[in-house]
Structure 1
């Protein structure tokens, strides 16, 4: 009966925790960041003989300064190139109408004279549906932009909460650790430390892998767009990287439609160049991804390749992240002897 009650309470706590996760993301990210920065705090306390408060303040201020500098330069580059790009948007739309839309209208007027009425009605319905789809898409883009702008104040508040929580958690981390250890048996404690240590290393490795792949994509896109003499290369390369990171989307979401528009505008050099760039980025990433993940996450290249492939086939781009993550969690639990695989056939 006692065991039954214990597992009941554990289940209730887990369910409450899962329910609160969406509302506690700033605190969760603050805790993860504090754990990641703990090594620097401990190093200063050991090597430089600082007390914990001094070490936490120095590491915290250095971290805030780093993300502030990176954020400032990113926002400056994006703002400058966005303003310059928006100034040329009307000319681009006018040129697109003159070089693509108007010739299509003339061809339609010429060929429609000799087509049966049923065919004309069918084509007109298709065009109407396409226009409606485009209108819906543009309205969605505008609405998402408005939602993004209105979400900025809320994001700033959550970011402030994240920073405050990061400082306080960093300061209280040893006490939090001690409070958790009180409720753990010695064997459970060793297993928890092993799992936490492995997952911590895997988390750092995953972030490292994503940074390497994002930098690789950025430089390939930047060099490719520079060769194609495309203006605003830094902004567009950054946009490609951001879209590539997002679930479901990929580099093709930017490069392929852009290539189609360029070809319709009779700019075959740019259109074919963008398609080649898309193929190069895709092939290079597919070749390098297993090696990067295996090196950064501590799993074999074969396991990384299989997890990436199966994850992609089952869940698409999201599976590329979840596949290796599940392999790491399984391997970690097996090492901690939580999952036992001792059998023979």
Structure 2
């Protein structure tokens, strides 16, 4: 009886301590978030290093297996390839991209006038004008056009300022790029120690299960991101060729936007179409419908054929679950979270299916035992 009473008091004490800690955490949330932010700022180079090491690891392994190179030489060749690709992009793509963005910002007022003239010509049609007038939209069209121009200018300027902010972190990125070399050199040792720590914290059996699921998640990310990147590259190239043939304005920028946003399932292609249509509306309104139709056909080709061939069979998750994962991932981690949403939900679904299967097997075994 005394033992039960002591256990009861101990449980109450534990709950009281948990409640007190929770209260203090909530009461000082601003200080806690500030501390976490400062800590993240300190460890940012190491976070970059882990990301770089994760991305470069497949290339390094390719050189090791294909050419039978030692680890150091494989890493050196990997870095030479990456630096070469970055140099080519810096020489051939970035200058044109920056010039296009600067030109776009400078010419926004003239684009607004073009759009206004296009609206005026449309409204010259009496049937269309009467519909617009009956809806009470006539007096708002000019205001909408001017406000849209303001939003575009501010959006482009904020994009430029974001690039400036990114350049302020270039030292951390370079440090991460260098630290990644040492992570790749000692990869096996680091992985072995990480597994040991997991097993020490969660005990051997549970730790091994966690490690197995980490391996599955890692495979899911590699499979999805790799195939989706290839899919988006193909879509971006097709978009670039099509936009150049149509003589669309800022074809390179729009193709990059279409290719990059295609990495985000379901919502990404829509964003690419809207951005392309908006730019065309203010620069070359006569091409808006053609560009939208072309990108819609391209999106359907990707969804029903290309993506189904490359990505669809690799993930194996219902569209609704992927949409939820994309929205949740975007809310938590932004674009990166939206990209990682699919492999994350695929891993969770696998874990859920495994738990359900084990539960059904357990019930079946219990029934068989009762029959005996």
TM-score range, shorter chain: 0.5 to 0.7
Contact 2:46-2:176 at 8 Å conserved across structures:
yes
Q: Which residue of 1 aligns with 2:28?
A: none
Q: Which residue of 2 aligns with 1:199?
A: 217
**In the superposition, relative to structure 1, how do residues 166 and 210 fare at CA in structure 2: closer, same or farther (>3 Å)?**
same
Please give the per-residue CA displacement for 1:18-76, whole angstroms capped at 9, x wherever unaligned. x57954454235335435655746984999584xxxx1x32332232222222222232
Q: How many angstroms apart in 2 are the aligned matches of 1:122 and 1:231?
A: 29
Contact 1:263-1:271 at 8 Å conserved across structures:
yes
Q: Which residue of 2 aligns with 1:147?
A: 162
Q: Which residue of 2 aligns with 1:101?
A: 116
**In the superposition, relative to structure 1, how do residues 258 and 93 fare at CA in structure 2: closer, same or farther (>3 Å)?**
closer
Which residue of the other structure, out of 297, 305, 314, is the alignment partner of 1:280? 297
Contact 2:116-2:145 at 8 Å conserved across structures:
no
1:219 equivalenced with 2:237 (yes/no): yes
TM-score (norm 2): 0.64
**In the superposition, relative to structure 1, how do residues 33 and 324 fare at CA in structure 2: closer, same or farther (>3 Å)?**
same
Q: How many angstroms apart in 2 are the aligned matches of 1:320 and 1:151?
A: 20
Structure having greater relative contact order (Cα 8 Å, sep ≥ 6): 1
Q: Please, which runs of 5 or more residues in structure 1 have no aligned partner?
A: none
Contact 2:276-2:291 at 8 Å conserved across structures:
yes
Contact 2:53-2:183 at 8 Å conserved across structures:
yes
**In the superposition, relative to structure 1, how do residues 69 and 253 fare at CA in structure 2: closer, same or farther (>3 Å)?**
farther
TM-score (norm 1): 0.68
**Aligned partner of residue 229 in structure 1, secondary structure:** coil
Q: How many angstroms apart in 1 are the aligned matches of 2:288 and 2:236?
A: 19
How many residues align? The count is 311
Q: How many angstroms apart in 1 are the aligned matches of 2:118 and 2:321?
A: 46
Contact 2:257-2:272 at 8 Å conserved across structures:
no
Q: What are the within-5 Å matches in structure 2 for residues 191-270 of structure 1?
A: 191-230=209-248, 233-245=251-263, 250-261=271-282, 264=285, 267=286, 270=287
Contact 1:198-1:332 at 8 Å conserved across structures:
no
Q: Which residue of 2 aligns with 1:69?
A: 84
Which residue of the other structure, out of 342, 345, 350, is the alignment partner of 1:326? 345
Shift of 1:274: 0.5
**In the superposition, relative to structure 1, how do residues 275 and 294 fare at CA in structure 2: closer, same or farther (>3 Å)?**
closer
**In the superposition, relative to structure 1, how do residues 63 and 253 fare at CA in structure 2: closer, same or farther (>3 Å)?**
farther
